[in-house]
Structures are given as structure tokens and as C-alpha cells.
Structure 1
Amino acid sequence: MTDVTDTLTRYLALCDVPARVEGDLGDLFTEDAVWEGGGSAYAEKFGRSEGREAIVRMLSAYLPPNPHFRTNVHLLFPGTVDTDGATARGSWSMQQFSRYASGASEVMVARLDVTFRLDADRPRISAFRTELLFSEPLSGER
């Protein structure tokens, strides 16, 4: 369980603005990975990206040098993981605090359902699904 949680935590850290770690987002996904928004809000907002290159392209639209976020941080809560031979499936709650280029800010909570392929060198994400559970603007805009 630790290895898959480490991969997911690294993914979220690479999506923080400013990033807390250096690395290649693409290296965390399998070549044939799928990334999708679930539920009505995120299915419409994010849709579905298929393949490592498409996923990195979609995620990069939200990350520097694109000015989408001024700051953004993801907090991962303990989850559950089941392994089955060469794959692992997990579910986590994630909290995200964001301040946008517009100056608006919000807090969100999403459920992450993630499937990993357990490669020899590290677990890689083969399916990632995020569903919005809660979203609220934050007051005290700066």
C-alpha cells in the first residue's frame, strides 16, 4: 500500500503550485492510462483523457507556465488499497485549496479512485477518476 500511496502523493505534489517536488508527471502514468472526471461536475469540467501524452497535456493546462493557479495545494487523506497480482486499486479523499489567477479562492473535497499497474520499478497510474464531493469559495480574498 505504501508504494501506491507514494505514487499518488507524488502526483499531487507535482500538481501543486508552486510544485513541492520536481519530476515528470508522465512517468507516473502507464502509456495507456485513462484520467477522467466523475460525477456531473467533474465529468463536464475535465472529461476523459486517454493515454499518457493526452493526460500530461490536459494537466499541463492547469500548471505553470499557464496562469490558472496562483497557488494550489492538495492534501491526501488515508485511503484503502486492494492488490490483485500486478494491479492495485485504491480510494482516497483529497482536499484542495486553490487561489486562482483571477484572485478567487476555494476549498474542494474530491474522491479519488485510482488503479495502479505494479511495474518492477514503481507503481504507475493506469486509471484515475476524480469526483467532486464539496466545493466552497473562501472568503478573505487577497
Structure 2
Amino acid sequence: MTLEKTVADLATRVETLEAEAEIRRIQARYMFLCDTPCPEFGVRDDEHRIELIMDLYTHDAVWEGVGEYYDNQFGRAEGADAIRAHFRNFWGQKRDPELLLNAHYLTSEQIRVAGDEATGLWIHMQPWLFSDGTSLLRSSRLNNAFRKEDHGWRITRTRTENVFVAPLNAGWASDYPSASVLMKP
């Protein structure tokens, strides 16, 4: 093997590792911004939160819930305007009972990079606590796609499929915050 070939091979491997790391950060940031209360310091309101999320997506992205449980619950949003409307529908409505807390936990990661495109598979879990004392645990599989653009990697597809929804006993969680101060300077 020539030195040039070795260097080229190493450069490709480094680019792949850097892509995986950036995709991992993008997916984690998306989940972080979807947490309630939102832990991102300085987020003024849900519209600001939505714009921070939209910065992670390409203009032609797709967000969809699939499978027998999520097809009718989430549907499909194509393009930035439709995805923005999807999030406005979720956060823009006053809900009764009010969502007090949810946190996203990612596991079973599989990222595959092929040039300027990539896919990522995860399983995620999230507890939900509501103002009426009810709570549940949700788990979903994520099959997402990404593309490298001039300003870095972005999400081109969020696809989520229900694994399970489990009601939790009242009082299973205590001592949770009404607002996050984690990122406060």
C-alpha cells in the first residue's frame, strides 16, 4: 500500500467518524429540545424552540409516524413548513391535562454513513408526567436519515414507530423541576 493510499484511506475513515459524531449530536440535540421543560437556556417560548429544532432539518425533510399505532396519531409532514406546523400543533395547543415533564433517552444506536448521506437507527424511551397525576412511559424506534449540506449535517427524515405505551402508577416519580436551569450561565 502506498503512502498516498494510506493517507486517503485514513482521511475517509476520519470523515466517517466525524460524520457519525455530528449526526449523534444532531439527534441528541433534537431530543434535548423536545424535552419538557425545555432545558435549553434562553429559549423564550415554544415558537423559539420550534425554530431551533427546524435549524436541524433540511428544507425538504419528512417527519412521519409509521406503523399501526403512530400512522393515525402523527401522520406525515413533508417539507419545512409542514414540519413546523406539526410542532406548532404539538406545542401550540393548551392541553388538559398539561404536560409537566418528558425526557428522551436514546439507546441501541446504529449510524451508517455513505458519502454525504447517512441513516441512523435508535430506540428511545420517554416518561410523560401530566398535571392530573397520570403518567406513562413511551418507547419508539427511530429510523432517521441525514444529509451533509454546505453548513453541515442535517436531518432529512424523522421516522418513528411505536414500540409500546405503558401507563405508570400514580406517584412513581417525585421531585421533578417546573423549569430547567441546567444550561443557565
Q: What TM-score, normalized to structure 2? A: 0.71
Candidates 114, 121, 125, aligned match of 1:84: 114
1:63 aligned residue: 91
Asked whether the 8 Å contact 1:15–1:63 carries over to 2, the reply is no
**Superimposed CA distance per residue, residues 62-115 of structure 1 (whole angstroms, 9 cap, x where no aligned partner):** 236744522111111141111111111010000011123554210011000000
Matched, 1:41 2:72: no
Asked whether the 8 Å contact 1:36–1:128 carries over to 2, the reply is yes
Asked whether the 8 Å contact 1:97–1:108 carries over to 2, the reply is yes
CA distance in 2, matches of 1:2, 1:69: 31
Matched, 1:4 2:32: no
Q: SS of 1:76's equivalent? A: strand
CA distance in 1, matches of 2:86, 2:131: 18
Shift of 1:118: 1.4
What letter matches 2:112 in structure 1? D
Matched, 1:118 2:148: yes
1:19 aligned residue: 38
What stretches of structure 2 of length at least 5 have no aligned partner? 1-19, 44-48, 175-185
What stretches of structure 1 of length at least 5 have no aligned partner? none
Percent identical pairs in the alignment equals 32
State the Cα RMSD in Å.
1.9
In our comparison, the structure showing a higher alpha carbon Rg is 2
Asked whether the 8 Å contact 1:39–1:132 carries over to 2, the reply is yes
Q: Number of aligned pairs?
A: 142
**Superimposed CA distance per residue, residues 33-80 of structure 1 (whole angstroms, 9 cap, x where no aligned partner):** 000001111111000001112112212322367445221111111411
Matched, 1:96 2:126: yes
What letter matches 1:9 in structure 2? A
Q: SS of 1:2's equivalent? A: helix
Q: SS of 1:79's equivalent? A: strand
